[in-house]
Structure 1
Amino acid sequence: MCQSKFTLKGIHRERTTMSQVVSFSLFRFGSLRARIWAFLMMGLARRHMSKIEGIDFWKLCGSGSGEGFTPLPNTSVYAILATWPDEATARRAIENDPLFQRYKDTASEHWSMFMSTDTARGEWSGKTPFIPTKHNKSGPLVALTRATIKPSIAARFWRRVPNISNVIGQDPNVIFKIGVGEIPLLHQVTFSIWRDATQMANFARTGPHAEAIKAVRSEGWFNEELYARFTLLSDIGTWGGVSPLAKVDTA
């Protein structure tokens, strides 16, 4: 298993023993049997998830095909997002909890990231799950957007997504990106890792993404939305044979 824990050049991360940590775990399933198992666990795993020691907010998600930001499902990739009181608790659960262990044993590959929250606004299922933590905000960051799309405008929303997906897929400042969701077509989450806040902001202010944001505001596309930024702390496992964070310069 590949494991990396990095400190970016010139940056000292202040850590406390009890600061909320967000985990984002991806699992890739190869065989048809494994994919069926993963699909069924979207419902069957819910009972156990709420009983995991230290877990607070959590979501089981499927993923999109292609760059991930599409309405077409990718039946081989599933995700689990969760919040924990600290990184030690998060790592202990993901490394040792029977449910996470079963996911890892069934998957052909898995990768988990641990993050602290820079900023967050909005709600997810009526809750405010992410607690901002004081730390250095320089260097690579994670951007997460989540929205409940109004059924009446779903077709209009998904017509815009391919243009955004193509642009973000070609952007050299994007270290990693994927789209996941709880309910196909209506509940969508975008997750991307950027080299720095400036590059991410430049992307958000121009092109198809900026046009979509304007439409969201003027036409009221979403019933619920949340935007959050995170600082990367560490990761466990691989994706595509390596840790995507290997692209980040380390000291």
Structure 2
Amino acid sequence: MGQIVTLGFYRFEGARAQLWAFAMMGLARRAIARVPGIGFWKLCGSGTGVGFTPRPNLSVYAILATWPDAETARAALAGPGVFARYRARAAESWTVFLTPTSVRGAWSGTAPFTAEEAPVPGRLAALTRASIRPSVLARFWRRVPDISAVIGDEANVMFKIGIGEVPWLHQVTFSIWPDAGTMSAFARTGPHAEAIRAVRAGDWFSEELYARFTVHSETGTWNGASPLTAKDAA
């Protein structure tokens, strides 16, 4: 098996813990860059609600990273260092391990994911990342409430969140679905499809990346349970 991508989510409760997490958006960079085996990585904040809003959620943060294999990823995330400090301060954390199956575009001028594995039936994750042109910010964010409402009501999505490196300008959407057909059906209809057409027609993004992944494994909980097994049991 080739590259593993981890996306970890951390929830912080109380003003002191939230202030620490906010400060770590800058202070953690040197420590993360020195983690053995880490490749591409990003520190992200999140949005309120289901995450697809321009208002920041100061209690939830995310760390995305790439690794040469699952063993390296697990050793780094479970060992001492910056990831341990995040877990110690967080009230709850959950990390999903992903295997890239398709990638198109760039993130900060690079191609962060290597799609070596073929898609397999079953659960998959979708990640989109875009740099929004400042001249179209108002038009872009006017579209978001409709998309947020639809994905929030979507019964088939197993997990969804909006995160970003820079508020309003650099946005990431991440979702996990039970299968490719369910995800494709959602993407082709309603406000989401309308927004995609508007993006294409108006050239709203200065940089775009679209990636799909097989869900490899997970560790931790979110809202008191595994987002994956909780959905399976429903």
- Same-fold status (TM-score > 0.5): yes
Q: Is the 8 A contact 1:118 1:134 kept in 2?
A: yes
Q: How does 1:165-180 map to 2 (within 5 A)?
A: 165-180=148-163
> Which residue of 2 is the match for residue 161 of structure 1?
144
In 2, Cα distance between equivalents of 1:71 and 1:218: 23
**Structure 2 gap segments, 5+ residues each:** none
Q: Once superposed, what is the RMSD of the aligned Cα atoms? A: 1.1
Q: How does 1:117-136 map to 2 (within 5 A)?
A: 117-136=100-119
State the Cα distance separating 1:237 from its structure 2 match: 0.4
* Number of residue pairs aligned between Structure 1 and Structure 2: 233
Q: How does 1:198-209 map to 2 (within 5 A)?
A: 198-209=181-192
Q: Is 1:225 aligned to 2:208, yes or no?
A: yes
SS at match of 1:174: coil
TM-score by length of structure 1 reads 0.91
In 1, Cα distance between equivalents of 2:94 and 2:50: 17
In 2, Cα distance between equivalents of 1:141 and 1:247: 16
TM superposition outliers: structure 1 runs of 4+ over 4 Å: none
Q: Is 1:235 aligned to 2:218, yes or no?
A: yes
In 2, Cα distance between equivalents of 1:149 and 1:172: 29
Which residue among 187, 194, 209 is the counterpart of 1:211? 194
Which residue among 33, 40, 43 is the counterpart of 1:60? 43
Can you list the C-alpha shifts for 1:193-231, whole angstroms capped at 9, x where unaligned? Answer: 011111111111111011100111110000000000000
Can you list the C-alpha shifts for 1:98-128, whole angstroms capped at 9, x where unaligned? Answer: 1000000000000001010010000000000
Q: Is the 8 A contact 1:64 1:73 kept in 2?
A: yes
SS at match of 1:240: coil
In 1, Cα distance between equivalents of 2:119 and 2:107: 26
> Which residue of 2 is the match for residue 197 of structure 1?
180
State the Cα distance separating 1:134 from its structure 2 match: 2.0
Structure 1 range deviating more: 130-139 or 114-123: 130-139
> Which residue of 1 is the match for residue 82 of structure 2?
99
> Which residue of 2 is the match for residue 184 of structure 1?
167
Q: Is the 8 A contact 1:52 1:97 kept in 2?
A: no
SS at match of 2:158: strand
Aligned residue type for 2:15:
L
Can you list the C-alpha shifts for 1:145-195, whole angstroms capped at 9, x where unaligned? Answer: 000000110111011011011111111110000000000000000000011
TM-score by length of structure 2 reads 0.97
SS at match of 2:166: coil
Aligned residue type for 1:151:
P
In 2, Cα distance between equivalents of 1:245 and 1:95: 20
Aligned residue type for 2:174:
F
Aligned residue type for 2:185:
N
In 2, Cα distance between equivalents of 1:248 and 1:164: 22
